[in-house]
Every structure is written in C-alpha cells, then in structure tokens.
Amino acid sequence: MLVLPKGVRHIPGHLDRAAQERLVEDIRAVVSQAPLYRPEMPRSGKPLSVRMSNCGDLGWVADKAGYRYQDRHPVTGNPWPPIPETLMTLWAELSGDTRPPQACLVNFYDDKARMGLHQDRDETDFSAPVLSVSLGDACLFRIGGTERGGPTRSFRLESGDIVVLGGESRLAFHGVDRIYPMTSTLLKDGGRINLTLRRVTG
C-alpha cells in the first residue's frame, strides 16, 4: 500500500462520469473565452510541453520575465473568466478552507507532455491547500518532500481523481512523469486536463 506524505490526500474516482462530462463542458466554456496558450520558461524562453489557461480573479503565467499571477490573459489581454461553480463547490467540500479560491490553472497535456518536479510557491499565502482535479487520460504523478533532491514516490491518477496538497505538503515537490494515451474516452481526441485551484493572497 502506497503511503503518501503527510498533508497529501488522494481521492480516487471522486467525480463520476456524468460529473466529469459536466466539468469538461465548463472548462470548454472557460477556454472559449481564455484560449489555451503555450507558456515559456523564464530566462531561456523555452516553451513548456503543456498548454495552459486560467480562470478566476488571478491566473498563473510563465514567460521570460518569470513566474507570476496576473489578472489578464497574456495573449488576449482580457480578464480571466470566473471559476465555474462546479469547481467552487469542490473546493468548499474538500479544501478545508472557508475562503474561496482565487485562481484555477488549466493545464492540457497531450500524450508527449510532461511536468518536471516543482513547488507551487508563487503565492503569498500557503495556509490554504492546492486542490487538483484530473480529467481524461491517466498520468503517472510523482510527489516528494519540501526539499529538492529528496525521495519521491509515484502513483497513477485516473480521470475523476482529486489530489489535495496541504499542511506539511503544501510546498511538496511534485510533477507528472508521463501520460498514458487512450486510457480514457472522456476527451474526444485524447489528452489530459489538470485543474488546480489555489488561494494566492492572504
């Protein structure tokens, strides 16, 4: 049995198929207003392998200038659309925080996309957890401790799974090692959507 670091919760199959389909429709509406774009690594300008968008009062962006939150889409210049009510309800049910999320990062992974080990630390308040929703193809998710280079463990995330990083693991290093293509029929053309809800400020 896999033992996860203290503060990490994996809730397999929390969303049934109908709930997943409703959430995909909500995200399609978000992306119609705030199109997916490919962010760049700071300094090098190397594009990330995932495409991204956001919804909420703030959105996380990455480009040559660095990592940050801002209130507008970096390509269109328009404000981010609001976070769908379905996600607000999930946050209220599972986050343990009475304050609403301020940002929801939308990541789309094709079958070749990866996400290296990183910390979610561009927020100014770490008291609230990060709540992550998986939709579509399964992935191999890796989680470690709060120090780079420490031991890690990996487990598979399926469509409808929830992961919460909070408490001692709010700043845990984590990443996505691989996508398992064609493991879900939720998205017509395959791929994985990952949604991460966050508080940004105190």
Tokens matching residue 166: 């909070």
Report d(CA 110, CA 96) in Å as an integer: 32
How does pLDDT run across 64-97, given as a tens digit for each residue?
A: 999 999 999 999 999 999 999 999 999 999 999 9
**Contacting residues for 82 by C-beta, under 8 A, at least 6 apart:** 55, 56
Cα separation of 16 and 25, whole Å?
Answer: 15
Cβ partners under 8 Å of residue 60, min gap 6 = 52, 54, 67, 68, 69, 103, 105, 122, 198
Q: Domains of the chain (ranges plus CATH)?
A: 8-198 (2.60.120.590)
Confidence band (pLDDT; 50, 70, 90) for 3? confident
pLDDT of amino acid 202: 85
Look over the chain and give the mean of its residue pLDDT values, rounded to a whole number: 96
pLDDT at 45: 87
State what percent of residues in the chain have pLDDT above 70.
100
Q: What are the backbone angles phi and psi of residue 33, rounded to the nearest 5°? A: -95, -30
Return d(Cα 199, Cα 6) in angstroms, integer: 20
pTM tops 0.85: yes
* pLDDT value of residue 176: 98
Q: What share of the chain is helix, strand, coil (3-state, %, to 5)?
A: 15, 35, 50
Instruction: Using CB atoms within 10 Å of the CB of residue 16, give its burial: 0 to 12 exposed, 13 to 18 middle, 19+ buried.
Output: exposed
* pLDDT class of 1 with cuts at 50, 70, 90: low
The three-state secondary structure class of 167 is: helix
What lies within 8 Å, CB to CB, of 181 at 6+ separation is 111, 137, 190
Q: What is the mean pLDDT of residues 120-148?
A: 97
Q: CA 148, 153, 157, 161 torsion: positive or negative?
A: negative
3-class state of residue 68 by DSSP: strand
| pLDDT number for residue 115 | 96
